[in-house]
A and B are shown apart, each in its own frame.
Chain A
Amino acid sequence: MKEKTSPIAKLYLFAVILILYAPIFYLIYYSFNSGGTMSGFESFTFDYYIEVFEDVRLFTIVLNTIVIALLSALFATIIGTLGALAIHLMKKRQNTILGLNNVLIVSPDVIIGASFLILFTIAGISLGFTSVLLSHIAFSIPIVVLMVLPKLAEMNPSLIDAARDLGASRFDVFTKVIIPYINPGIFAGFFMALTYSLDDFAVTFFVTGNGFSTLSVEIYSMARRGISLHINALSTLLFLVTLLLVAIYYILSQRGALKIGGFRR
C-alpha cells in the first residue's frame, strides 16, 4: 500500500543529498588543481598527493591516530561490555548507573576536554600519548555500553539457566553463551568507538601536549594557517578510507543484522 513518491519529493531528497556531498567532492576536485587554491582550476596534478606521501611528520600523525583509535576502541569495548553486563545483572539503581553512563555522551566536547585536562594535570599525567589514549577510552566506553545493553536485554535468561544446569562454570557461561549472543552489539560498539576516536577533535585538542598530535588536531592547525591543497589531498585519502570502513561495516552488518548507528556524543 505504498504511495508513489512525487517528483518534488524526489527532487528535495536529491537536493539534500547533493548538498551533503557537494563540499566533500569540492575538496576532492581541487586536490588535483595545480593552481594551489580552491578556486579556478588550472591543470591536473598529483603533486599534493606526492607531497602527502613524502611528509614523514604527517605519516607519524596518521599512525598515531590509527594506533590511538584501535587501542582505545579495544579497551573501551572490553570495559564497556563488562560494564553492560554488570548493569544488566544489577537488581536496583540501574537507572542511576545508566544516568552516570550517559553523562559523557550528552556532555559537550569542550567540557569533557576541559575537565579531563584538569584531571590529568592533578593526577600528574603528562599530556601526550597517554592522556589522549585515556581520554579516548573514557569517552568511548558509554557508547559501547549502550550498544551491548539491548542485546543483553533481548537474551532469554533461560539460556543461561540451561547452561548452568548442564554444568557450565560462570566463566564458560560468559564465554560460550553470553559473548556469542551479544557479539553483534559488541561489534557495533567497537565500531562506534573507533569512529568516535577517529573523529574526535575537541577533547584531543585539550589533552594533547606539544609533541603529540592526531589527524584532527593537525588538520585544524593547518586550516588555521589558511588554505593549502595539501589538506585537500589528505581529505581525499581520508574519504576513501571512510568509504572503505563504511563498506566493511555495511557488509558485516548485513550478515549480523546490525543497525546502522550514528550516535553523537
Chain B
Amino acid sequence: MNHKFIRNLYAVPYVIWILLFVIAPIILVLYYSFFDIHGNFSLVNYERFFTPVYLKLTLDSFWYAFLITFFSLIVAYPTAYLLTKTRHKQLWLLLIIVPSWINLLLKAYAFMGIFGTYGAANNFLEFIGIGAKQILFTDFSFVFVSVYIFIPFMILPIFNALNNINPALIEAANDLGASKFMTFRRVIFPLTLDGVKTGCQVVFIPSLSLFMLTRLIAGNRVITLGTAIEQHFLVTQDWGMGATISVFLFLIMFIIVRFTGIGKRGA
C-alpha cells in the first residue's frame, strides 16, 4: 500500500479542482479557438481577430479600461491618503468598503434611474440652467458608473500601502528639511507604488471585460472585449470566435499581471 499517497489524501480535492477548473478550462478555450462556427479545424478566428473590426474593438476596450483606471486612481489616492489621517480609520475604511458589497447589478440599476431622462442628474442640470441632456447610453455614463463601481477596489490596496509606511521615515524626511510635497513625492508615493499597481490591476482587468454595464448603462454603444465574448458565446453561438477573443484577453491579463506583479492584494 502506498503510504505516502494515503497520507496526502486530504489534498486530493484541491488537486482535482486545479486540474478540472483551472487547467482544463484554459486548455478547452485554447482548443475551441481553433474551430470555426461549423466545427471545422481552422485558423479563421485568428485571421478575423486581426481584421480592423476586432482590432478597433480591442483598442477601444483598452482605451475605456485606461480611462476607468485613471479616474479611479485620481479619486482613490487622495481618499486613501485622507483615510489614513482620520482618527477611526478602520471604521471609515469599512464605510468605504460596504458599498462594494452591494450587488453590482443594483448599483448599475440605480444609475439607470439617476441618469435617466427625468432622473436626478438631469434635474440638477436643469436647475443650474444647463438643461436636460442625454446622459444614459453615452460614453460618459459608462465610464462614470464603472469608476463608481471600482473606486473601493482601488482605495483598499492603496490604503493598506499607506498604512504600512513607517512613520519614522516621514519624520526623518521632515528632519532632513524636505517640504511636504517633497516628502510625498520622494518618500510616500514610491512606498505606495505596490499598492497603486495592485489597485490598477484589480481595476484594469475587470474593466476590459465588463459586459452587463455596457448593456445597461451604455446601451450597447460601448463594446468591450467582454461584451464581444458574451455576444459570441450566448447570442451568435460562435464559440470559436468567443474562445479566440478569450485567448487574447487571457494573454493581455497575463502580461498585465506579469507587469504589475501579483503583489499583496486587497485585505
Q: Which residues of A contact B (CB under 8 A)?
A: 1-3, 5, 9-10, 12-13, 16-17, 19-21, 23-24, 26-27, 30, 37-40, 78-80, 82-83, 85-86, 97, 99-119, 122, 138, 141, 145, 147, 170, 188, 195, 198-199, 201-202, 205-206, 215-216, 219-220, 223-224, 227, 231, 235, 238-239, 242-243, 245-246, 250, 259-264
**From residue B193, how far is it (CB to closest CB) to chain A in Å?**
19
- CB atoms of B112 and A220 under 8 A apart: no
List A contacts of B233 (CB < 8 A): 113-114, 117, 206
Q: Could you name 28 residue pairs across A and B whose Cβ atoms are closer than 8 Å?
A: A1-B167, A2-B85, A3-B85, A12-B79, A13-B79, A20-B148, A20-B151, A21-B99, A23-B107, A30-B113, A40-B118, A83-B13, A86-B14, A101-B22, A111-B229, A111-B250, A113-B233, A115-B29, A147-B267, A202-B212, A220-B105, A223-B109, A223-B112, A239-B102, A242-B101, A246-B94, A260-B90, A264-B206
B residues 12-26 near A (Cβ < 8 Å) are: 13-15, 17-18, 20-26
A231 touches B109 (CB 8 A): yes
Whether B215 and A219, one on each chain, are in contact in the complex, defined by CB atoms closer than 8 angstroms, is no
Q: Given A235-B106, A262-B152, are A38 and B17 neighbors across the interface (CB < 8 Å)?
A: no
Beta-carbon contact of A238 and B106 below 8 Å: yes
Chain A CB within 8 A of B78 CB: yes
Is the beta-carbon distance between A138 and B21 smaller than 8 angstroms?
yes
In the assembled complex, the CB of B248 is this many whole angstroms from the nearest CB of chain A, namely 10
Residue of B whose beta carbon sits closest to that of A235: B106
* CB <8 Å contact, B114 and A23: yes
- Complex Cα gap A37–B153 (Å): 31
Take A24-B102, A110-B230 as given contacts and tell me if A39 and B32 are in contact as well, using a CB distance cutoff of 8 Å.
no
B151 — nearest CB in chain A belongs to which residue? A20
List of A residues within 8 angstroms of B17 by Cβ: 79, 83, 138, 141
Which B residues are closer than 8 A to A by beta carbons? 7-8, 10-11, 13-15, 17-18, 20-26, 28-29, 32, 75, 78-79, 82-83, 85-87, 90, 92-114, 116, 118-120, 123, 148, 151-153, 156, 167, 171, 201-202, 205-206, 208-209, 211-212, 215-216, 225-226, 229-230, 233-234, 239, 242-243, 246, 249-250, 253, 257, 262, 265-267
> Which residues of A have CB within 8 Å of B206?
108-109, 264
Complex Cα distance, B201 from A264, in Å, reads: 10
Task: Given A104-B22, A235-B106, decide whether A118 and B14 contact each other with a Cβ distance below 8 A.
Answer: no
Complex Cα distance, B22 from A138, in Å, reads 9
B143 → chain A, closest Cβ, in Å? 15
Most buried by A among B11, B171, B205: B11
Most A CB within 10 A of own CB, among B109, B123, B148: B109
Give the complex CA separation of A188 and B225 in angstroms: 33
Residues B105 and A119 in contact, CB atoms below 8 Å apart: no
Would you call B243 and A39 a contact (CB within 8 A)? no
Q: Least Cβ distance of B81 to chain A in Å?
A: 9
Contacting pair A26 B10 (CB below 8 A): no
Taking the closest CB of chain B, its distance from the CB of A139, in whole angstroms, is 8
When the two chains form their complex, are residues A16 and B75 in contact, meaning their CB atoms are under 8 A apart? yes
Query: Closest residue of chain B to A254, judged by CB?
Result: B90
- Our pick among A37, A118, A195 for the contact of B239 (Cβ within 8 Å) is A118
A residues near B95, Cβ cutoff 8 Å: 17
